[in-house]
Structure 1
Amino acid sequence: MNKKLFIILLLVLILTLTACGKSDSGNVVKSDENMGEIVPSITILSSLPEANMVNYEMANEVAEELRKLGVDIKAEPIDFAVLIDRIYGDDEDYDAYTIGWSGRIERLDPDMFIHSINHSSNAKPGGNNTDRYRSDEFDAVADAQRQEMDVMKRRDLVFEAQEILGEDVPRITLYSRANVQAYNKDKYKGVINIPGEGLFNEWTPMFIEPKTNDKVLKVASNINLDSLNPMKAKSVYEWRNLRLIYDKLIRLSPEIEPQPWAATGWDVIDDTTVDVHLRKGMSFHDGKPVTVEDIKFTYESFIENEVEYFMSFLEPIDTIEITGENTVRFNLKNPYAPFITNTLTQIPILPKHIWENIEDPRNYDNSNPIGSGPFVFKNFRPGEELVAETNRDYFQDINIDGYIFQIFGSPEGVLTALELGSTDLLSFDLVPSHIEQLSNNEGGKFSHLEVTSVNDIGFFYLGMNLDRAPFNNKAFRIATAHLVDYDLALDVHLNGYGGRGGAGLVISPVNEFWHNPNAIKYDKYDPEKAREILKEAGFTWDKDGKLRMPLE
C-alpha cells in the first residue's frame, strides 16, 4: 500500500514539474494555458537619427530593455512630419513614441503642460493629450488650477497635479536639452536669446541689426515644415514661421511680460470679462484693413472648427462681442488665470475676407498665407526653404529686409553652412559634438560665430498610448520607467548639456516657481526593480520567456 502511494505521489510530482518550469528569463511559470495573453508586440516610433539622435538612441535603449523582459518590441525611426500625423491622426495607429514639447515662452505658465497635454477632454484625435491619459481626479485639479486667480493657491494646485502625474505615469520624460545655439556675430548684432526658445524667436527677426549690407537673415533648421495652415500646424517649427507671418493681439516679451501688440491694450472688467482694444491702421499683406470683425471671426473660427491644438486655451471662452469700433469683449465661462498670457498670445489673426469663404478650413492648403504680421510670405519649397520679406507697412520698424528659413538634411550640413557663412543663425540646438567644436575654436574656422546658451523649460519623452495594452496597465508603465537609463541620456548622449528626466517631470526645474521637486516618482534605472513590479502586478513569463499579461 505504501509502495502504491509512493508511486502515485511520484506521478503527481512528475506531472507538476511538467506543467511548471522555468522560462528563458529564469522565472518560474505555470503552464501557458493558465496564463494571461502574451504582451502585445510594441513599436516605438522615434525620430530619425539625423533629426534627433538622442530620441533615436533612447527609443532603442528602452526597446532593448523591454526585449530582455520578454516583450516583442522594435524601435522604428520615421520622419518628424509622419510621426506628428500618426500621433495626432484619426486612426490612432501607434503604441509608443519619442518626441518633445518645446519650451515656447507662453509655456512658462504651467497650464499648457498641466491641462492641455493631460486633461481627459484633450484625449482624442487631434488633441494634445496624445497619450490618451484620463483621470477624473487629475481633471478636477487641472480645472481648478486654471480657475484659481490667487497665484499662491494656484501654485499649490499645480503642485498637486504634478504629484498625480508622478503616480500615474502617463508618459516618461527622458531628458531636457539646453538651448545651445550659434549665430554669425560678424554679420549681426542685437540677437535676442529667450529661455525655452533660443535665438529664432518672435523678437530676434524684428530687432536684430545687420553689420553688413547683407540684410536677409538666413536661419537654419534641421526639420521640414508640414503645413502653413494655422488651423492645421502642430509643430514648433511651423509656428516659428507662422507667428512672424501672422500677428497676435499680445506677444510675451523676452522678460516674459505680456506686451500689447496688434492690441494696444486690454481691460480686465472682472474675472470673466476682458475687453481688448485693437491697434488702428493695421493692414493684412494684401492691403485689406485689420478690423475687430477679423478678431471676432478668428477666435470663433478656431472654436467652431475645434482646432484641438489650441482648444484647451479657447475652451474657457463663452462668447465674443464687438463693443466698439476697435474693442472686442471676451466673455468667459469661468475665470481663467492665464487668459492674457496663453489665449491672447497664441491665436494668429486671420483675414475674414479670405477664410470665411473656405469650405474646410482645417484642411485648407494655405499655400500663400496672408497675415498682418511683421513678415510677408513669398514662397516655400518643401524640404529646402521658406522665404519671407519684411512688411514695410508694419507699425514696428524692422532692420532686416527679410529672412530665409533654410531646411537641411543633417546637422553636419548645418555645421558646414555655419563654417562657410551661408547660414547666419540656428533655429535648433547644436548636437553635443558640434558644441565642442564651436566652443573650442578661438581664432579658427568658426571664430566668426557666437555660441549661446539658455535654459529650456521643454522636455523630451517616451509617450505611450494608454488606450492600448500593455500601456493601459499602470504597473507596466511604472516598470518601463525603471528601464530608462536617464544618466545615459544626459551624460553620454547629451554630454551634460541638459537635464535628467523621470516619470512625473512635466514642469521643468528651470521653471522654478511652478516646479514640484517631490512629484518625480520614478527616475532611477533599475531593471531588477522593473521585473519585481511586473511580478507583483501579476505579469508572468511562459516557457519561452515571453512576458504575459495578468489574468483578468
Structure 2
Amino acid sequence: MIKRVTLSIFLVIVLLITACGGKEVVGPDNDVEMGDLVPSITILSSLPEANMVNYEMAQELVEELQKLGVDIKAEPTDFAVLLDRLYGEEGDYDAYTIGWSGRVERLDPDMFIHSINHSDNADPGGNNTNRYRNSAFDALADAQRQEMDINKRREYVFQAQQILAEDVPNITLYSRANVQVYDKERFDNVVNIPGEGLFNEWTPMWINPLTEDKILRVASNINLDTLNPLAAKSVYEWRNLRLIYDKLVRLSPEIEPIPWAATGWDVVNDTTIDIHLRDDMKFHDGVQVTAEDVKYTYELFIDRKVEYFASFLAPIDSIEITDENTVRFGLKYPYAPFITNTLTQIPILPKHIWENIDDPNEYANEKPIGSGPFIFENFRRGEELVVKTNKEYFEEIKIDGYIFNIFASPEGVLTALELHNIDMVSYDLVPAHIDLIKNNDGGKYNHLEMTEAQDIGFFYIGFNLDREPFNNKDFRIALSYLVDYDLALDVHLNGYGSRGGGGLVINAANEYWYNPAVPIYDTYDPERAKEILEEAGFTWDSNGKLRMPKE
C-alpha cells in the first residue's frame, strides 16, 4: 500500500512537470512569491471564410501559448467589427490578426514606417493600433519623411526597420501573392498591379469588353462598411471610393505620379507646392469642380482629424487659392512623399454638399457624389454596389459600369466563376481554388485567365502594447518563436507568397526600401521561446500557469 501511494505521488509530480513544459515546479506556498499571472488573452482573428490563413495561424499561436501555461483563446471576428474594435475610442482588445494591403502608393515606405508605427498615431483612431511608442524610432520615422536625398532617406528607413525588428511591436505572418483571375472571353486589357490585384484604380478605366455586355461583374468576399470617405478604413471600401471620387494625382502601375484632377504642379521650394487644376471637371450632379472644393476637402480632413490619413496630412501648414485653378500647399517641413502619398489619397469632395452636413465623420453618405470615372447608382449592404460609367469624364472608358458583388464565402465565388456569373475577383484566391482552376477539371475553367503579382503588403498578429503581457518586449520576442512561418507559407498558402518574421513591415518585394538585415526573429522554435521567458524572469506556478516577472 505504501509503495502504491509513493508511486501515485511520483506520477502526480511527473504530470505537473509535464504541464509546466519541463520547468521545475514550485509548491503552492511559493506561488505567492511569484509575479502576477499572465493575464488572459483573446486574439481577435479573421473569420475562416474571410481569411482562412489568418484564422488558422491564430489557432496555432493559441495552442502554442496554452502549452506554455497561458490562458488564451481566439475569437473569430467579422472584419467590420474588428476595425471598430481596433479604431474605437475604448481600445478594447488584446491581440488581433489583420493585414495591410500593398496598395501602389505604399511602395513609398512612409505608410509602413510612419503611419502605422509612429507614436503620434498611437492614440485611439490612429493607424498605430499596436500602440507602439519608441522615441528613437520616432526620430528616424520623422527624419526619413523630411529627407529629400533618396539615398540618405533610405538609410533612415533601414535604421527604422532595424528598431522595429528588435522591438517586435507586431509579428508578420506572411505576405500573399496576388493570384487572381478574370474572364478572358469577356474582357481583355486587364492589369494585375502588385499589392493591388486586378480590381485596381486603372483596370476599370482601361479594360476592354469583348461582347455586347459591357458591365463588369467583380467579386468580393468582404462586405463594405461605409461609403463615407472620412469614415472608410479598409482597402475594400477605398477600391470603390477612388473610382467614384477623383484625386489630384494617381499613381501609374509603374509607380509614376500622373496628374489627374490636377494638370500638374510646381515645386516652388521644399515647403511650397502649387497644384494646377483641370478646368473641365464636374461632379456627378453637374456642378463644376473648383479650387474651393480642393481647399475645402483637405481642410475638412485635417479639421475633422481623420486619423486614417492623419500621418499624410500632418505636414500641411496652410492651403490657399492663388488663382482660379491653382491651390498652394504650404508645408511645415519638407515632406518627400507629398506628391506620391498625400495628393494620391485624398478624394475631392463637393463643398456645396458637405459644408451643409452637421457631422461629416458620421454622415451615412448613402448616395455618394464625386467627380470620378464612375457614378454611384445603388448599394445593398452585404450584397452589391452598382455604379455606371461617367460618360462626361475626361478619359474614355469602354465599359458601361461595374457591379461589385459581395459573397459570403470563397466557395460561392468559385461557383460564380465556373457558371460565368462573375468576370473578375477582387481578392487573392485561396490556394485550394488556385489549384482547382489550374487543373481545370474537365475544362470548366477554360474561360479564366490566371494572373499573379507579388504583394508588398503583409498579414500579421498585432498586439495592444498598452496591456500586459504585450508591454513586455521579451514576451513579444518569445512569441515570435512560437509562430510557424513555414506552416503559413508552405501549408496554408501552398507557397503562394512569402514568409514573415517579428517586426517585419517592408518585405523583399519592395526591393529598394527593404532592409535585408531584418527580420531578426523569424524562426519557429518553442524551446527557445521558453528559454527567453525564463531569462526574462517569467516563472511557472504549481498549476503550470505562466507568471509575469516579479517587480
TM-score (norm. length: structure 2): 0.96
Q: CA deviation at 1:23?
A: 7.6
Match of 1:24 among 19, 23, 26: 19
Would the aligned equivalents of 2:55 and 2:76 in 1 still touch at CA under 8 Å? yes
Q: Does 1:452 align with 2:448?
A: no
Query: Within the alignment, does 1:378 sit opposite 2:390 as a pair?
Result: no
For 1:501 and 1:345, locate their aligned partners in 2 and report how far apart those are by CA, in whole Å. 28
1:11-410 residue pairs with structure 2 within 5 A?
A: 24-25=19-20, 26-30=22-26, 31-410=30-409
Instruction: Return the alpha-carbon distance in structure 2 between the equivalents of residues 56 and 186 of structure 1.
Output: 35
1:393 positional shift: 1.0
For residue 32 of structure 2, give the secondary structure of its aligned residue in structure 1: helix
How far is the alpha carbon of 1:164 from its aligned partner? 0.2
The alignment status of 1:428 with 2:424, answered yes or no, reads no
Query: Does the Cα contact within 8 Å between 1:23 and 1:29 map onto a contact in 2?
Result: no
Report the Cα offset of residue 505 of structure 1.
Answer: 1.2
Q: Deviations over 1:357-383 (max 9, x none)?
A: 111111111111110000000110011
**1:263-303 Cα distance to aligned partner (Å, 9 max, x none):** 00001111101000010021101111100000000000000
TM-fit CA distance, 1:443: 6.4
Three-state SS of the structure 1 residue aligned to 2:318 is strand
Amino acid at match of 2:433: H
Partner deviation per Cα, 1:146-188 (whole Å, 9 max, x = no partner): 0000000000000000000000000000000000000000000
Aligned counterpart, 2:501? 502
The CA deviation at 1:441 is 1.7
After TM superposition, which residue ranges in structure 1, 4 or more long, deviate above 4 angstroms? none
Task: Work out the CA distance in 2 between the residues paired with 1:282 and 1:484.
Answer: 51
User: Is residue 534 of structure 1 aligned with residue 533 of structure 2?
Assistant: yes
Cα displacement string for residues 61-116 of structure 1 (whole angstroms, at most 9, x for unaligned residues): 00100000000000110111111111111111100000000000000000000000
Secondary structure at the counterpart of residue 450 of structure 2: strand
Deviation at 1:351, TM superposition (A): 0.4
C-alpha displacement of 1:508:
1.4
Cα distance in structure 2, aligned partners of 1:442 and 1:33: 64
Structure 2 counterpart of 1:9: none
* Letter matched to residue 107 of structure 1: R
**Structure 1 residues 313-365: Cα deviation after superposition (integer angstroms, max 9, x where no partner):** 00000000000110000000000000000000000000001111111111111
- C-alpha displacement at 1:254, in angstroms? 1.1
Q: Tell which deviates more after alignment, 373-382 or 25-34.
A: 25-34
The worse-fitting range, judged by mean Cα deviation, of 314-323 and 26-35 is 26-35
1:19-60 deviations in Å (ceiling 9; x for gaps): xx9583132244111001100000000111000000000000
Deviations 1:174-222 (A, max 9, x none): 0000000000000001111111111000000001010001101000000
What is the alpha-carbon distance in structure 2 between the residues aligned to residue 23 and residue 410 of structure 1?
41
**Structure 2 CA distance for aligned equivalents of residues 114 and 358 of structure 1:** 34
Give the number of aligned pairs: 533
In structure 2, how many angstroms separate the alpha carbons of the residues matched to 1:473 and 1:86? 22
1:476 aligns with 2:475: yes
**Residue 442 of structure 1: CA displacement?**
8.0
Distance 1:337 1:550 in 2: 44
1:551 alignment partner in structure 2: 550
Q: Secondary structure at the match of 2:124?
A: coil
CA distance in 2, matches of 1:204, 1:384: 22
* Amino acid across the alignment from 2:41: I
* Distance (Å, rounded) in 1 between the aligned partners of 2:363 and 2:125: 16
Task: Indicate conservation of the 8 Å contact 2:25/2:544, yes or no.
Answer: no
Q: In structure 2, how many angstroms separate the alpha carbons of the residues matched to 1:474 and 1:321?
A: 46
**Tell me, what secondary structure is at the counterpart of 2:193?**
coil
8 A Cα contact 2:41 2:94, kept in partner: yes
CA distance in 1, matches of 2:32, 2:437: 61
Q: Is the 8 A contact 1:258 1:340 kept in 2?
A: yes
Q: Within 2, Cα distance between the matches of 1:389 and 1:137? A: 49
SS in 2 for 1:462: strand
- CA–CA distance in structure 1, aligned partners of residues 454 and 441 of structure 2: 24
CA contact (8 A) 1:22 1:543 kept: no
Partner Cα separation in structure 2 for residue 458 and residue 436 of structure 1: 23
Give the superposed CA RMSD: 1.1
Q: Distance in 1 between matches of 2:23 and 2:434?
A: 46
Is this contact kept in 1: 2:378–2:387, CA < 8 A?
yes
Residue pair 1:47, 1:53 contacting (<8 A) in 2 also: yes
SS of the aligned residue for 2:45 comes to strand
Q: 1:508 & 1:103 partners in 2: Cα distance?
A: 10
5+ unaligned residues in a row in structure 1: which ranges? 1-17
User: What letter matches 2:23 in structure 1?
Assistant: N
Q: Is the 8 A contact 1:23 1:542 kept in 2?
A: no
Letter in 2 for 1:229: N
| In 2, Cα distance between equivalents of 1:103 and 1:117 | 13
- Provide the rounded CA distance (Å) in 2 between the counterparts of 1:463 and 1:254: 30
| 8 Å contact kept, 2:119–2:134 | yes
Q: Take 1:51 and 1:91, find their aligned partners in 2: how far apart are those partners? A: 25
SS of 1:368's equivalent in the other structure is coil
Distance in 2 of aligned mates of 1:473 and 1:385: 44
